[in-house]
Amino acid sequence: MHSNRSDFRSLTQEIERRVRWSPEYIEADRKLMWRPEFVKLLYTYLDIRPKMHVADIGSGTGFLARIVAPGIGRMGDIICIDHDTRLLARGVKATRKERFSKNLHMVQANAYNCPLPTSWADLVMCQFLLSNVKHPLSIIREMARVTKRRGLVAAVEPVGIQILFDPSHVRLTELQRKSWNAYVRGYRKLLGGDITIGLRLPHLFMEAGLSKVELDGYLETLLFSDPRYQGRDLATFLRTRFFERPSKRTKTKIASMIKDLTYSCGGMSPNEALRIQGKLADRLKPLVENTRSLKRSSFVFSVARVIVRGRKQ
């Protein structure tokens, strides 16, 4: 019994080490998520001003930092922290041509132990980090340590509601919900991350000693035919989100093994999960292959997120 438990622990540790986010997916998803009107709101919520010192923890390619950078201007500084060098390198490439590139720095480090001085930042933010880690409270405390007195700690995180709604196949929506719930359960068991963390965050922020905690919701609603979205951007997003490129490369094989294990731990057989994904892929494929059909389609991809922030006393 004891050895089974320690075997499971070392397996999950090995899996954690190998979980890697695709830079293509991150860039495609965030581009659709942060439409200009939401960026204005984000600036208000995060109280963005020139000359600020900002840290983006678990920054990935630094998409959020790149949104904030123009607002803090040339006299400000943004430091992105992530442990994945591949994502950071992609971020460096994306910023190279920007005017703010000299003020944005990419640093490889662990979010639990940031190499930043205490009380350095006016704003310490993260996006989709706390939902992916085992000990979110420790990271919020670390974010608060780096923040100045009266500075802001902020997080953009999911509440666990997401669906691709196909108006001509409502049953598929139900099947997706079933597989999504299994994935959420499995992710928690296998990797210790809580993809539904959003509404729990105000409590965790208060536990970390932050005050004046504020919470706002953001329901992303990606209607494919909506003229504000480019067909090319939608197709890239769908390709990176719903289709794994068939490949014999070890990385891809490991990624799908981890997915299978996640569904199993959540109580759904990998075959059933695969069957549902297959059905979804069959519906999406003709759209991804033909941008005109995609832009005529009334499919809706929807995700609910929150933006939480609190002040350091």
Ligand X SMILES: C[S@@+](CC[C@H](N)C(=O)[O-])C[C@H]1O[C@@H](n2cnc3c(N)ncnc32)[C@H](O)[C@@H]1O
| Nearest residue (CB) to ligand X, 126 versus 261 | 126
φ, ψ of residue 309 to 5 degrees: the values are -150, 155
Smallest distance, Å, CB 247 to ligand X?
Answer: 21
Helix (H, G, I), strand (E, B) or coil at 249: coil
Q: 51 or 251: whose CB is closer to ligand X?
A: 251
The residue among 82 and 194 lying less far from ligand X, judged by its C-beta, is: 82
Residue among 64, 276, 116, 63 nearest 182 (CA): 276
3-class SS of residue 160: strand
> Which residues contribute to the site for ligand X (CB under 6 A)?
21, 26, 30, 58-60, 63-64, 82-84, 87, 110-112, 127-129, 132-133
Q: Which residue number, 82 or 220, has a Cβ lying nearer to ligand X?
A: 82
Helix, coil or strand: residue 196: coil
Tokens at residue 271, please? 């075959």
Cβ contact 137:301 at 8 Å: no
* Min separation Cβ 88 and ligand X, Å: 9
CB of 108 to ligand X, least distance (A): 8
- Which residue's C-beta sits nearest to ligand X? 60
Question: Distance from CA of residue 268 to its chain's centroid?
Answer: 24
Closest distance between ligand X and the C-beta of residue 99, in Å? 21
Smaller CB distance to ligand X: residue 90 or 297?
90
- The least distance separating ligand X from the CB of residue 288, rounded to whole angstroms, comes to 22
Task: Pull the structure tokens for residue 141.
Answer: 């405390």
Inter-residue contact 148 to 54 (CB < 8 Å)? no
